Structure 1
Amino acid sequence: MAVTESSRARGVDRVIAIFRQLHLAQRPMTMRELIEATGAPRSSIYELVAILAEVGWLETAADGSVFFGREMHYYGSDYATRNDLISRAHQSILALVRKYDETTQLCMLEGNKYTVVLSENSARPFNISSDIGVRVPIPWTATGRLLLGHMSPEEIRALIPREDFMLDNGVLVDFDEFMRDVQLAKDQGYCCTEGLSNAFRLCMAAPVRDRGGLPIAALCFMTGRDTDPERRQAMLDDLLQSAKALSHR
């Protein structure tokens, strides 16, 4: 019996690994790529893909590549509809995009990383966005600075891997400077970063708080650093008001 339970557990772990690799890739993957990425036996991956395709969780293209199936879309839609914060945040984001025509997102921390949960893009040619669900190092973001204000420097140092302080442009973020940013974001009640991991990017983040007042998510604008100061202030004011409306009272 123990062998059967262990075998089932490995099967579940491999299904999770398949989904995670497809999500990270953000594209269909060949069976060979899935086998290499998951490290699972070839026979196991072929068997699991066949089962998951049969129930609609995965779909196999004519060239043999594999990606998420229609059933996964239904489950995601159910979650977005029934989760109160996600549902309300989506409406807030749509309203902000309609008003300012700027990319707007709902962002959260996931373990020791940052991720975009919802995103609606600007219709303008200049468009900055991140893929939903892709885990990004916390020091790369305004949201990361905003959502750590309740933690001590020791807790933050233990949370964030040292290598995550290296931005994708090769610049190293000093820990003490990062902590000053965290404290400033806590004091201001919002965070703005310019040129952090992209020389032309301006990010504004406003906190969505739980019943205890702790920030659990952030509404964010992603725009250009050349945005007019008056427009910046109007955007920030609306962002703060929308985030406050989403927070638990």
Structure 2
Amino acid sequence: MADTESSRARGVDRVIAMFRQLHIAQRPLTMRELIEATGAPRSSIYELVAILAEVGWLETAADGSVFFGREMHYYGSDYATHNDLISRAHQSILALVRKYDETTQLCMLEGNKYTVVLSENSARPFNISSDIGVRVPIPWTATGRLLLGHLNADEIRALIPAEDFILDNGVKIEFDDFLKDVQGAKEQGYCCTEGLSNAFRLCMAAPIRDRAGLPIAALCFMTGRDTSPDRRGAMLDDLLQSAKALSQR
């Protein structure tokens, strides 16, 4: 009995691993890529793909590559409709994009990482975005600084891995400097960062709070650093108002 339960648990773990790898890749993967990425036995991956394709969770193309199936879209749509914050935030994001034609996102923390939950890009040829659901180091973002204000220095140090303070361009963010940014974001009620993960990027983040007043998510504008001061001010005002409207009183 124990061996059967253990085998089933391994099967579930392998399904989760396959889904994570497909999400990270953001494209169909060959069977060989799935096997290498998950480290699971070849026979196990082939069997799981066949089962999941049969129920519509996965789809296989003519070349044998594998990606998410139609059923997964239905489940995601159900979640977005059921989750009150995501449903309301989507409408706010659409309104902000229509008004400013700038990429707008709903962002949250996921464990010790940051992730984009919703994103609508601007219609301009040049826009800045991040992939939905991809986990990014917290110190790389304005949102990360904004959502840690309720933690003390020791809690923040324990939460964030040391390697996450190194940006993708190799520049290291000193912990004390990051801590000052967190405190500053808490005091002013928003956070703006320039040139962190992208030399030309300006990010504005405004907090969405729960009933206790703690920040649980953020509305974000992703735009260029050449945005004029007047436009920055107007965007920030609307971002703060929208985030406040989404907060639970």
TM-score, structure 1 normalization: 0.99
In the TM superposition, residue 169 of structure 1 has moved relative to its aligned partner by 1.1
In the TM superposition, residue 88 of structure 1 has moved relative to its aligned partner by 0.2
Map 1:114-193 → 2, pairs under 5 A: 114-193=114-193
Q: Which residue of 1 aligns with 2:57?
A: 57
Write the distance in 1 (CA, Å) between the matches of 2:64 and 2:126: 36
Q: The residue matched to 1:219 in structure 2 has which SS?
A: strand
Q: The residue matched to 1:171 in structure 2 has which SS?
A: coil
Equivalent residue letter for 1:202: L
Q: Which residue of 1 aligns with 2:6?
A: 6
In the TM superposition, residue 17 of structure 1 has moved relative to its aligned partner by 0.6
Equivalent residue letter for 1:238: D
1:169-223: CA deviations, max 9, x gaps? 1110011000000000000000000111111100000000011100000000000
Unaligned runs of 5+ in 1: none
1:130-154: CA deviations, max 9, x gaps? 0000000000000000000000111
Identical residues among aligned pairs (%): 90
Q: Which residue of 1 aligns with 2:99?
A: 99
Write the distance in 1 (CA, Å) between the matches of 2:155 and 2:39: 33
Equivalent residue letter for 2:30: T
Give me the CA root mean square deviation: 0.5
In the TM superposition, residue 27 of structure 1 has moved relative to its aligned partner by 0.6
In the TM superposition, residue 2 of structure 1 has moved relative to its aligned partner by 1.1
Equivalent residue letter for 1:149: G
1:91-116: CA deviations, max 9, x gaps? 00000000000000000000000000
Map 1:23-62 → 2, pairs under 5 A: 23-62=23-62
Q: Which residue of 2 aligns with 1:242?
A: 242
Q: Which residue of 2 aligns with 1:21?
A: 21
Asked if 1:86 is matched to 2:89, the reply is no
Equivalent residue letter for 1:185: A
Equivalent residue letter for 1:180: K
**4+ runs of 1 displaced by more than 4 Å?**
none
Q: The residue matched to 1:139 in structure 2 has which SS?
A: helix
Unaligned runs of 5+ in 2: none
Equivalent residue letter for 2:212: G
Q: Which residue of 1 aligns with 2:68?
A: 68
Write the distance in 2 (CA, Å) between the matches of 1:197 and 1:79: 30
Aligned residues: 249
In the TM superposition, residue 126 of structure 1 has moved relative to its aligned partner by 1.6
